[in-house]
């Protein structure tokens, strides 16, 4: 199977989308008061449940998909949606 070659614009849009998601993730971590300087031990009662975490990530991805569709970048939007499906499936 051949890999599709993306145009420079498509690559830039994909990179911008990924960067936005990463920035949103960092903001989410700050909002959940998870400090990076904490000890290596996991304090399970301070961590969100898997279901809560996946809902937050799904919201961020859906927000980015909406932005991409408004910019008529349907390919990248579809790719993000498929990636989210894989993450939710677990493999």
pTM of the model: 0.51
Please, what is the average pLDDT of the chain? 80
Task: Give the C-alpha separation, 7 to 29, whole Å.
Answer: 33
Inside any domain, residue 69: yes
Inside any domain, residue 59: yes
Inside any domain, residue 4: no
Inside any domain, residue 1: no
For residue 71, the model assigns a pLDDT of 94
Domain that holds residue 16: 10-36+45-89
């Amino acid at each position: 199977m051949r890999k599709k070659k993306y145009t420079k614009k498509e690559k830039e849009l994909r990179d911008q989308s990924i960067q936005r998601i990463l920035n949103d993730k960092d903001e989410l971590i700050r909002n959940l008061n998870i400090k990076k300087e904490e000890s290596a031990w996991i304090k399970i009662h301070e961590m969100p449940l898997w279901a809560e975490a996946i809902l937050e990530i799904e919201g961020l991805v859906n927000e980015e998909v909406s932005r991409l569709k408004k910019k008529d970048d349907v390919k990248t939007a579809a790719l993000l949606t498929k990636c989210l499906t894989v993450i939710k499936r677990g493999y």
